[in-house]
Structures are given as structure tokens and as C-alpha cells.
């Protein structure tokens, strides 16, 4: 065949050009617009230290005389602070950049952790079956009867009583990540379990058994790649949810401390000043949160439809 | 004026890579009381013709040209409302799968009555009487009682009868049957076909029978149209088309049908089928890696000995093991396969033939009995290295070419896996070399290595599956219905390939199939199975000429009557 001579790079390029999902992506405005917005927000978060006019976490750079300034285009606004400042004299714009960083970090790591726990348990549950399956799925059922936010609160509460207050401030970020991760694994486990159960009776799995491959190898190398499609969809939708849960926890005051504010912490701080007229402290972080979760959600929705062969 | 006329029908399916012409300028007609067969291989557009006639083309397909006439009136340009007065009332439709074409939540009677009232505007009571009458006509006993039962209370064949009753309930002038017997066992197929024939004659209905099966065509059609890649290549009296075909494609298609009446050496080389690169004449398999001496010890006796093999599946699990309910898939089966022999197992669906293969390869653990390969009882082998040594000697080719390959792996990795796992090669370069050799042996060429399974057709995938099975250099190959999902010409190619490999490598083979002509072409000895038991084991020729068991006789009688003239 004449195709023998093409290189790997050409092969990949041809595959991408042929790919239906890529085609759908470039031809669905909602998909690429939300991807562009989402990626720009991620870029803002990553490069925050270079872009932000001020480092809001550096207490030495803060000046209480700058506290509660309105956005720069209003009376008494200051050119240095485009979106105004909060009660501590932190520029809202800079704080949003750094807050995004924390929100996205919490979102990605907790989704990754959930995914890891959920996919492994789902894979084992679906492949091994029997008692193991029953135990894992009953735990999942029990957990599913509590709302995610309640589980996160519970974990945070237990943690607070166990460690000292100083240590808690330092570890708060990781507690939040852990809490969100633990509250979200069930969805992954259930989805993966059901996909595994349909995959494992297919003949390619039996072919692996006939070759003599062990269960672990069949599970990881053969079944896992075939069940990941829906997991990515849940993952993106869960990312938006995780960011919102983190914001909610922080808003309730059990998330991240005011010294390292995430978007949720900012909204909570601003909320206290809303009725005294300083609306900008809560509105701008709130808008950012909405844009972020909306773009991630819309992207996830598109991905779900694109991966669903029935809708094409 | 014909009953139904299709003139210059062209159907296109637009996609982002341009229009695909599924049906290209097809013209045909049906007379009252006549059965017209449309035969062709998958993708030939035969079902699309049927769908176009009742204007149920799957989106985004559309009729780009042509016209359809029913009793002299044009029906393809009517609006949707008028079309639905024709669809179901004047043209009935019988679909392939009786399991999905009935609504499981409504009784059979309710579905019939609904349709009758819709089309004939009868009273509920009259409609019910008509429903019972129709069930009687399609040969359902106790119709008065059965009319109030749900579809799951009917067997597959009975359900197809109900579907036929549904298609007939408005006294249609034309019936389109799309592979009506493909999902059924042979014994039921014969009954359904004679029922269709009878109904056609009694009611003077014109029928279009869409099928891939030459046996069905020979059995009941008056005239036949042969389609190839959207085009009508030949149409005429069934006798004439089947026994004196004029078009090259028809000739090659007919020569590919396995002969039930005698054993041929191989299938004549069939043109008009997908491109396959054969090995150059001067390359001998024995010079390649696959043919080199294998590192197995010689042994005396049978390749495979199965004794009193029994397998129970738990159907209902209870708290205590002894209270479990079981379904016995194998009821103590014994046979042996000699070295170098091709042993066939034949039986209808559910007879347990595939279960045997899965017990032999260790996918299922038998409840009782022994399976010994090369003289060693596999279930008693604890040592993993020893076990793998025997595993390596037995490989399997599966039925479904679409699910038997992992879609996320490249072909080269699929074939390399067993080589690497069983440490058959020293390094990566050697693995790659072996993979390329294997791909050439099965006729795919080295270009296939880097592709993914979905880029291949069913027959090509089955070749990949064969290459994977050969990658451990087995001496015992199990083929579980290797061609039943394939078109007849592709089947001929794959059977030729398996035969060549078997002869040149001296493989022992267990060949499982429901298709008697295929068994006759491939096997030295045959076992006939029914509901978990072997009824008869005999030399192939002896079995076909002088069957001993009554069930074997029945199977042979039901075998399609079609014989090739070649």
C-alpha cells in the first residue's frame, strides 16, 4: 500500500483532520467559544503573578488607606485599582486573578483525585463482580444519600477538631480538595462499573484471556481505555461543580481562609459590605465565577453530545 | 401496469465528505402474487430500496432521483399525511428482528387491534375478531388465548409470525420483507418462508424479499434482483439468475456459496470482492517465523480430549449454594480431536457449541469433567509457566469481528501483545518483523499495522483476528463461527485462508458453526449438538450421506436446497 511511507506526524495530522469530534468542535460555536473563554481564564490564573498589578497575598504590599476604593471609572476611584479594592486594600482585579488560581487548582486536583478513586473502584467493582461489587456499590449508595456539600462540611468539621488552628490554616486548601474529591467519586464509579460490565463480555476481553493475560492487565490495558469516554464528560461537568462547591464552602467560612482568598472567599467578604454600598467586592468575583463555571459546563455539555453516537 | 414500479431510483446520503450514493438508478417492478427477491452483500443498498419504497429513509438520506408507482399512481411525491395512509395500509413491512419490532409493554392483541382500527376503521370487537383470525392464518395455535399475551411469551419464530400478522392486518397490496428470517434458526426459517409463500399466493399480494441469503432466494422467490454497490447488476427469473448468471458479479457471488452436496477443494477464486494481497508464490510459509519449527514437545495421542464435560450457569443466586437455580449448558459432553484433524461442531443457537470452546480455552471453568490438551489436564495445572505453555498452543478466532478487537489499540499492538506476553521474540525489532510477516500472511499487507480496527471491514478484521491467533504459533486453533457475521464472498475468502493455513502449518482445528454447508467444506469429522448434548459424531461424508440420529436428518432436510452449477 502506498500509505506505508507516511510518517507518524502525517499519520496523526490525517487522523485529526478526519476526526468527527474535532470537526464537531470546530463547527459548534458554543464549544469553541466556551473553550476559548475557559482557556483564557486558565491562562490568567497561571500567569497571575506576571499579569496582576499587585500581589494580594503579600501583606507588606497592602495599604489600609487603599481600602474599599470603588472601581476606577467611578468617583474616588483610583487608577491603580481598575475594579476597586476590598476592606484590606487588596485590588479586586489582582485578587480575582489569584483567586481564580486557587479555584482552578482546587477544581482540577479534586476532580483528578475523585476520578482516580472512582475509576479504580468502578473498574474493580465491574470486573470482579460478586461480593466485592456489592460492598463497593453499597458504600456508594450510602454516600449518595448525603448531598456532596454535606459530606464536604463533615470532613472539614472532623478535620478542624483533629488538628490545631494554625496547622488548619496551612492545610485548609488540601482539606477542601480532599473533601470535594471524596464527595464526588460515586458518579465515576457507577458510570465506569456499568461500562465495564458491558465491555467485559465482549470478545476482545475473551481473546485476552485466551492469550493468557492476567486480570490486572486486561482491566487496565484493554477495558480501561474503552470506558474512559463518559468519564471525561463527567470530569468536565464535575470540574464546574467542584469549583462551585469550593466557592460554597469558602462562602460558608469553612473553606479557604481570608488571607489566601479564593473566589468564594472574596464573594463572602464582599457580601458583608454589599449593603453598605461597596458592591464591587462581591459582584466582580461573582461574575468571574459565573463565567468560569458556565464555560466549563457548556464545554462539558457539548462533549457529552459529541461523544454520544445516537445524537449525531 | 405492474402492481408496484420503481423507476430510476437514486438515494443519496449527504455527509461532510460528500454525497454517498447508496442506491444508483435502480428500476424494478412487482406483480400481484409474485415474490421478488433483492439479494446483495452488506452495503449493496438492498435495504435502502425497501425503505425508499415506504419512504422511511434514515436521515439524512433522501431520494435524489426516480419515482415510485403503486398501481399506476405515483406515491413518492405525496405529502407526509398521504404517505402514511399508504405506509402500513397498502404497503406492509416485515422487519428483521422480531425481538425489537414488537412493543414489549403491550399485548400482541392490543398492537394488532390498534393497527387494524387505525387502518380499517372497524369497531373494537370486529378488530379483535380480525386479529384472532389473522393469528390463526399465520399459524399460531390457540389464537383466542394467545392474543392477550405479551411478546416475551412468544418464541422468536412465533414473534416473527405475529410481525407478519401485523404487516397483513390491513390487507396490503404489497409487503416488503427485510431479512425476515436472518435472526431465526434454520428449522424456524423454513416454516416462516413457506408461510410467506402461502400467504402471497392466497391473498395475491406482491412481495419484495430483501436478503443476503442465496438459500432463501432459491427457496421462495419467483424473480430476483442482484445488487452490487448500489447498482442493480442483474434481474430475472430466479432459476435463470441462479443457474445461468450473466453478470460477472452474480457469477462470483454464486460460486462463493458453500456447496451442501459435496466437498470442494477450495472456493473458486472470487473476483469482485475486497482487495487482498496474497503472498508471492515463491515465499513458503515454512521459511517464515510462523512456519519455523515450534518449541513444543511431541506427544502421543489426541490433541484434545474432553470427558463428561458439564457446565452449569447460576440463573438465580440464593443465600445458600444448594438453593441456587442452575441452567445446564453442557450435560456431560465427551469427544476427542486427533492431531492434525479438523473437527466440526454443528448445532442451532443455544445448543452449547460455543460454550465448549470457552471451556476448552479456559474462559469458563467447567462444573465437572476433564479437558486435556496435548495430554495435560489444564484445570489441574497449578504452575503458571506450565499453564501458559499449554495456553500458547491453543488459540481462538471469534465470531464477531467488531467486538473481538480492542478498538483503542493499533493493529500492530493487538498482534504484538501475545508475542510479547509469551516472550516469542528477542526484541522490539523482531516483534515488529513478525507482526509484518503475519499481516502479509493473512493478506493485509504491512500498511495495516499502524491503523485502528475501525478502519477495516468485517472480513479484514477477521483476518486481523486470525493473525492475532497465529501470533503464539499455536498448534490447535479453535474457530467459533468465524464467518457467520460475514458476507458470503468474504466468507469464501476467509475459509480459503483458514484451509490454507491449516494445511501448510499442520494445525489441528475445532470448527464451530451452525451452517452445514460450511461444515461440510471444512471438516474431517463432525459432532452434532442439541441442548447441551452431542447426539452424533461421524466422519463428515458419512454424516451427510447416512445420518444416524433423527435430529441430524431433520437438520439436513432443512438445509437450503440451493446448489451451484459449478
- Cα separation, B174 vs B167, in Å, equals 10
- Cα separation, B216 vs B8, in Å, equals 26
Q: Could you list the residue range(s) of the whole structural domain that residue A191 is in?
A: 103-312
| A54 within a domain of the structure (yes/no) | no
Chain B neighbors of A206, CB-CB under 8 A:
358, 361, 363, 396, 398, 404
| pLDDT at residue B273, rounded to an integer | 54
The residue with greater pLDDT, B271 or A255, is A255
| A23 within a domain of the structure (yes/no) | no
Q: How confident is the model at residue A303 (pLDDT cuts 50, 70, 90)?
A: confident
Q: How confident is the model at residue B493 (pLDDT cuts 50, 70, 90)?
A: confident
Lowest mean pLDDT among A124-128, A252-256, B388-392: A252-256
> Which option is the CATH number for B285-558: 3.10.100.10, 3.40.50.300, 3.40.50.720, 1.20.1050.10?
3.40.50.300
Which among B408, B445, B448 is the nearest to A226, CB-wise? Answer: B408
- pLDDT tens for each residue of B79-124: 888 888 888 889 998 888 777 888 889 999 999 999 899 888 889 9
**If DSSP codes are grouped into helix, strand and coil, which group holds residue B201?**
helix
| pLDDT at residue A2, rounded to an integer | 39
Residues 457-476 of B with CB under 8 A from A: 465, 468, 472
Say whether A211 and B418 touch across the interface (CB within 8 A). Answer: yes
DSSP state of A220: I
Say whether B398 and A209 touch across the interface (CB within 8 A). Answer: no
With a cut of 80, say whether residue B467 has pLDDT above it: yes
| Mean per-residue pLDDT, A171-181 | 86
Question: Does B506 touch chain A if contact means CB atoms closer than 8 Å?
Answer: no
| pLDDT at residue B69, rounded to an integer | 92
Q: How confident is the model at residue B28 (pLDDT cuts 50, 70, 90)?
A: very high
- From residue A185, alpha-carbon distances to A148, A192, A229, A249 in Å are 10, 11, 16, 18
Q: How many residues does chain A have?
A: 312
With a cut of 70, say whether residue B284 has pLDDT above it: no
Say whether B363 and A212 touch across the interface (CB within 8 A). Answer: no
- Residue B561 contacts residue B544 (beta carbons within 8 Å): no
- Cα separation, B442 vs B456, in Å, equals 14
Joined grid coordinates for residue A31: 464549544
Chain B neighbors of A1, CB-CB under 8 A:
445-448
Residues of chain A with pLDDT > 70, as a percent, come to 95
Instruction: Indicate if B285-558 has the same CATH topology as B29-81+90-255.
Output: yes
| pLDDT at residue B272, rounded to an integer | 54
| A249 within a domain of the structure (yes/no) | yes
Say whether B407 and A3 touch across the interface (CB within 8 A). Answer: no
What CATH number does residue A199 fall under? 1.10.3720.10
User: If we measure between CA atoms, which residue out of B255, B263, B270, B243 comes closest to residue B517?
Assistant: B263
Minimal Cα–Cα distance from A204 to chain B, Å? 4
Residues 6+ apart with CB under 8 A from B198: none
Say whether A226 and B406 touch across the interface (CB within 8 A). Answer: yes
Q: How confident is the model at residue B565 (pLDDT cuts 50, 70, 90)?
A: very low
Joined grid coordinates for residue A56: 494580594
| A186 within a domain of the structure (yes/no) | yes
Residues 6+ apart with CB under 8 A from B500: B266
Peptide bond connecting B175 to the previous residue in cis, omega within 30 degrees of 0: no
Chain A neighbors of B408, CB-CB under 8 A:
225-226
Say whether B362 and A203 touch across the interface (CB within 8 A). Answer: no
Nearest chain A residue to B409 by CA: give it: A222
Residue B342: beta bridge partners? B509
Question: Does B362 touch chain A if contact means CB atoms closer than 8 Å?
Answer: yes
- pLDDT tens for each residue of A44-91: 888 888 887 777 777 677 777 777 777 777 777 777 777 777 777 778
Which among A206, A211, A226 is the nearest to B407, CB-wise? Answer: A226
Chain B neighbors of A212, CB-CB under 8 A:
387-388, 391-392, 421-422
| A243 within a domain of the structure (yes/no) | yes
| Mean per-residue pLDDT, B395-402 | 89
With a cut of 90, say whether residue B539 has pLDDT above it: yes
Q: How confident is the model at residue B269 (pLDDT cuts 50, 70, 90)?
A: low
Question: Does A209 touch chain B if contact means CB atoms closer than 8 Å?
Answer: yes
Joined grid coordinates for residue B50: 425497501
Question: Does A308 touch chain B if contact means CB atoms closer than 8 Å?
Answer: no
Q: How confident is the model at residue B334 (pLDDT cuts 50, 70, 90)?
A: very high
| pLDDT at residue A71, rounded to an integer | 78
Which among A203, A209, A212 is the nearest to B404, CB-wise? Answer: A203
Q: How confident is the model at residue B252 (pLDDT cuts 50, 70, 90)?
A: confident
Question: Does A4 touch chain B if contact means CB atoms closer than 8 Å?
Answer: yes
What average pLDDT is seen over chain B?
85
Chain B neighbors of A210, CB-CB under 8 A:
361-363, 391, 394-396
Q: How confident is the model at residue B566 (pLDDT cuts 50, 70, 90)?
A: very low
- Cα separation, B482 vs B464, in Å, equals 12
| pLDDT at residue B524, rounded to an integer | 92
CA count, 13 A, side-chain hemisphere, B183: 17
b/e per residue A188-209 (b: at least 16 CB within 10 A): bbbbbbebbbebbebbbbbbbb
Question: Does A166 touch chain B if contact means CB atoms closer than 8 Å?
Answer: no
| pLDDT at residue A312, rounded to an integer | 45
> In total, how many domains does chain A have?
1
- Cα separation, A107 vs A194, in Å, equals 26
Which among A204, A211, A222 is the nearest to B472, CB-wise? Answer: A211
> How is chain B split into domains, by residue range?
29-81+90-255, 285-558
With a cut of 60, say whether residue B72 has pLDDT above it: yes
Say whether A212 and B391 touch across the interface (CB within 8 A). Answer: yes
With a cut of 70, say whether residue B495 has pLDDT above it: yes
Q: How confident is the model at residue B295 (pLDDT cuts 50, 70, 90)?
A: low
- pLDDT tens for each residue of B500-514: 888 888 889 999 998
Q: Which of A12, A200, A203 to mutate to test the interface with B (most CBs of B within 10 A)?
A: A203
- Cα separation, A227 vs A248, in Å, equals 32
Lowest mean pLDDT among B129-138, B384-393, B528-537: B384-393
Chain B neighbors of A11, CB-CB under 8 A:
450
Minimal Cα–Cα distance from A189 to chain B, Å? 21
Minimal Cα–Cα distance from A218 to chain B, Å? 11
| Mean per-residue pLDDT, B404-429 | 89
- Cα separation, B399 vs B418, in Å, equals 19
What average pLDDT is seen over chain A?
83
Joined grid coordinates for residue A175: 482539606
- Residue B299 contacts residue B375 (beta carbons within 8 Å): yes
**If DSSP codes are grouped into helix, strand and coil, which group holds residue B464?**
helix
Nearest chain B residue to A14 by CA: give it: B451
Which among B387, B395, B408 is the nearest to A210, CB-wise? Answer: B395
| A81 within a domain of the structure (yes/no) | no
Query: What is the biggest distance separating any 2 CA atoms in chain B, rounded to whole angstroms?
Result: 80
- Cα separation, B294 vs B290, in Å, equals 9
| Mean per-residue pLDDT, B63-85 | 88
Say whether A209 and B361 touch across the interface (CB within 8 A). Answer: yes
Chain B neighbors of A208, CB-CB under 8 A:
417
pTM of the model: 0.80
Joined grid coordinates for residue A301: 455539555
With a cut of 50, say whether residue A4 has pLDDT above it: no
Residue B257 main-chain phi, psi, to 5 deg: -70, 125
Chain A neighbors of B400, CB-CB under 8 A:
203
- Cα separation, B475 vs B472, in Å, equals 9
For residue B336, give the H/E element and its range: strand B325-337
Most confident of A12-16, B375-379, B393-397: B393-397
Q: Kindly report each contact of residues B102-107 with a partner whose C-beta sits within 8 Å and lies 24 or more positions away, as own/partner.
A: B102/B151, B102/B159, B102/B162, B102/B163, B102/B166, B103/B151, B104/B150, B104/B151, B104/B152, B105/B150, B106/B150, B107/B147, B107/B148, B107/B149, B107/B150
The residue with greater pLDDT, B51 or B562, is B51
Question: Does A1 touch chain B if contact means CB atoms closer than 8 Å?
Answer: yes
Which among B388, B406, B445 is the nearest to A1, CB-wise? Answer: B445
Query: What is the DSSP code string of B487-526?
Result: -HHHHHHHHHHHHHHHHHHT-EEEEEES-HHHHHHH-SEE
Residues 6+ apart with CB under 8 A from B338: B302, B303, B508
| Mean per-residue pLDDT, B211-238 | 90
User: If we measure between CA atoms, which residue out of B249, B215, B181 comes closest to residue B489?
Assistant: B249
CB-count burial class (<10 Å; 0-12, 13-18, 19+) for B350: middle
Q: Which fold has domain B29-81+90-255?
A: Rossmann fold (3.40.50)
Q: How confident is the model at residue A161 (pLDDT cuts 50, 70, 90)?
A: confident
Lowest mean pLDDT among A141-150, B114-123, B167-176, B309-318: B309-318
Q: How confident is the model at residue A19 (pLDDT cuts 50, 70, 90)?
A: confident
| Mean per-residue pLDDT, A136-152 | 87
Amino acid at each position: 500500500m502506498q500509505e506505508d511511507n507516511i510518517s507518524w506526524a502525517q499519520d496523526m495530522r490525517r487522523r485529526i483532520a478526519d476526526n468527527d469530534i474535532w470537526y464537531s468542535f470546530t463547527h459548534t460555536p458554543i464549544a469553541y467559544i466556551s473553550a476559548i473563554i475557559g482557556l483564557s481564564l486558565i491562562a490568567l490564573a497561571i500567569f497571575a503573578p506576571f499579569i496582576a498589578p499587585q500581589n494580594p497575598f503579600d501583606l507588606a504590599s497592602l495599604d489600609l488607606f487603599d481600602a474599599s476604593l470603588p472601581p476606577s471609572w467611578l468617583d474616588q476611584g483610583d487608577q491603580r485599582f481598575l475594579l476597586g479594592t476590598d476592606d484590606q486594600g487588596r485590588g479586586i482585579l489582582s485578587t480575582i486573578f489569584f483567586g481564580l488560581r486557587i479555584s482552578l487548582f482546587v477544581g482540577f486536583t479534586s476532580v483528578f483525585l475523585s476520578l482516580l478513586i472512582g475509576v479504580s473502584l468502578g473498574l474493580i467493582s465491574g470486573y470482579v463482580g460478586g461480593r466485592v461489587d456489592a460492598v463497593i456499590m453499597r458504600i456508594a449508595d450510602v454516600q449518595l444519600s448525603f448531598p456532596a456539600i454535606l459530606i464536604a462540611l463533615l470532613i472539614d468539621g472532623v478535620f478542624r477538631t483533629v488538628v490545631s488552628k494554625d496547622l488548619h490554616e496551612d492545610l485548609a486548601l488540601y482539606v477542601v480538595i480532599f473533601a470535594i474529591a471524596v464527595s464526588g467519586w460515586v458518579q465515576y464509579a457507577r458510570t465506569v462499573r456499568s461500562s465495564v460490565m458491558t465491555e467485559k463480555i465482549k470478545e476482545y476481553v475473551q481473546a485476552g484471556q485466551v492469550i493468557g493475560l492476567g486480570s490486572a492487565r486486561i482491566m487496565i490495558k484493554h477495558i480501561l481505555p474503552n470506558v474512559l469516554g463518559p468519564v471525561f464528560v463527567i470530569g468536565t461537568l464535575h470540574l464546574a461543580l467542584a469549583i462551585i462547591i469550593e466557592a460554597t464552602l469558602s462562602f460558608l467560612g469553612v473553606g479557604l481562609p481570608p488571607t489566601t482568598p479564593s473566589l468564594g472567599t472574596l464573594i463572602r467578604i464582599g457580601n458583608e459590605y454589599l449593603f453598605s454600598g461597596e458592591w464591587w467586592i462581591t459582584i466582580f468575583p461573582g461574575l468571574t465565577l459565573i463565567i468560569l463555571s458556565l464555560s466549563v459546563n457548556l464545554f462539558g455539555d457539548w462533549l457529552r453530545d459529541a461523544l454520544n453516537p445516537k445524537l449525531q | 401496469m405492474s402492481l408496484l414500479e420503481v423507476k430510476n431510483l437514486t438515494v443519496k446520503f449527504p455527509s461532510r465528505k460528500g454525497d454517498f450514493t447508496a442506491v444508483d438508478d435502480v428500476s424494478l417492478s412487482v406483480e400481484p402474487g409474485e415474490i421478488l427477491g433483492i439479494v446483495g452483500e452488506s452495503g449493496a443498498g438492498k435495504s435502502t430500496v425497501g425503505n425508499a419504497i415506504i419512504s422511511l429513509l434514515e436521515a439524512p438520506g433522501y431520494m435524489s432521483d426516480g419515482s415510485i408507482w403503486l398501481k399506476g399512481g405515483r406515491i413518492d411525491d405525496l405529502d407526509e399525511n398521504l404517505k402514511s395512509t399508504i405506509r402500513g395500509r397498502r404497503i406492509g413491512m416485515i422487519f428483521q428482528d422480531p425481538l425489537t419490532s414488537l412493543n414489549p409493554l403491550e399485548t400482541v392483541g392490543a398492537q394488532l387491534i390498534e393497527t387494524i382500527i387505525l387502518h380499517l376503521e372497524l369497531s373494537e370487537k370486529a378488530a379483535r375478531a380480525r386479529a384472532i383470525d389473522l393469528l390463526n392464518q399465520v399459524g399460531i395455535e390457540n389464537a383466542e388465548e394467545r392474543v392477550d399475551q405479551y411478546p416475551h411469551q412468544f418464541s422468536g419464530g412465533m414473534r416473527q409470525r405475529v410481525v407478519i400478522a401485523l404487516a397483513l392486518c390491513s390487507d396490503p397490496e404489497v409487503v416488503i420483507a427485510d431479512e425476515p428470517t436472518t435472526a431465526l434458526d434454520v428449522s424456524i426459517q423454513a416454516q416462516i418462508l413457506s408461510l410467506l409463500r402461502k400467504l402471497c399466493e392466497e391473498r395475491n399480494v406482491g412481495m419484495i424479499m430483501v436478503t443476503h441469503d442465496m438459500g432463501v432466494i432459491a427457496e421462495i422467490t419467483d424473480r430476483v434482483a442482484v445488487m452490487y454497490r448500489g447498482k442493480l447488476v442483474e434481474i430475472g427469473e430466479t432459476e435463470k439468475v441462479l443457474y445461468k448468471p450473466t453478470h460477472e458479479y452474480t457469477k462470483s457471488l454464486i460460486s462463493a456459496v458453500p456447496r451442501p452436496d459435496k466437498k470442494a477443494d477450495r472456493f473458486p477464486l472470487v473476483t469482485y470482492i475486497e482487495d487482498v494481497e496474497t503472498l508471492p508464490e515463491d515465499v513458503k510459509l515454512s521459511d517464515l517465523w510462523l512456519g519455523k519449527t515450534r518449541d513444543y514437545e511431541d506427544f502421543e495421542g489426541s490433541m484434545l480430549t474432553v470427558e463428561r464435560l458439564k457446565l452449569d450457569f447460576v440463573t438465580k443466586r440464593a443465600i445458600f449454594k444448594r438453593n441456587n437455580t442452575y441452567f445446564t449448558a453442557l450435560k456431560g459432553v465427551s469427544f476427542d480431536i486427533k492431531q492434525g484433524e479438523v473437527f466440526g461442531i454443528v448445532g442451532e443457537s443455544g445448543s452449547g457449541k460455543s460454550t465448549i470452546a470457552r471451556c476448552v480455552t479456559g474462559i469458563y471453568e467447567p462444573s465437572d469433567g476433564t479437558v486435556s490438551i496435548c495430554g495435560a489436564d489444564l484445570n489441574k495445572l497449578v504452575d503458571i509457566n506450565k499453564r501458559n505453555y499449554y495456553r500458547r498452543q491453543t488459540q481462538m478466532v471469534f465470531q464477531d469481528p467488531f467486538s473481538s478487537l480492542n478498538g483503542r489499540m493499533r493493529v500492530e499492538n493487538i498482534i504484538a501483545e501475545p508475542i510479547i506476553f509469551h516472550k516469542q521474540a528477542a526484541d522490539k525489532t523482531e516483534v515488529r518483523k513478525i507482526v509484518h510477516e503475519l499481516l502479509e500472511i493473512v493478506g493485509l499487507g504491512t500498511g495495516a499495522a499502524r491503523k485502528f480496527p475501525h478502519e477495516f471491514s468485517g472480513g479484514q478484521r477477521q483476518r486481523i483476528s486470525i493473525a492475532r491467533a497465529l501470533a503464539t504459533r499455536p498448534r490447535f486453533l479453535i474457530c467459533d463461527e468465524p464467518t457467520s457475521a460475514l458476507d458470503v464472498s468474504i466468507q469464501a475468502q476467509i475459509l480459503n485462508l483458514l484451509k490454507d493455513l491449516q494445511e501448510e502449518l499442520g494445525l489441528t482445528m475445532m470448527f464451530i458453526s451452525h451452517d452445514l454447508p460450511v461444515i461440510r467444506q471444512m471438516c474431517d469429522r463432525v459432532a452434532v449438538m442439541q441442548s447441551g448434548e452431542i447426539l452424533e459424531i461421524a466422519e463428515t461424508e458419512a454424516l451427510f450421506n447416512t445420518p444416524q440420529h433423527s435430529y441430524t436428518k431433520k437438520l439436513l432436510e432443512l438445509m437450503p436446497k440451493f446448489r451451484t452449477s459449478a
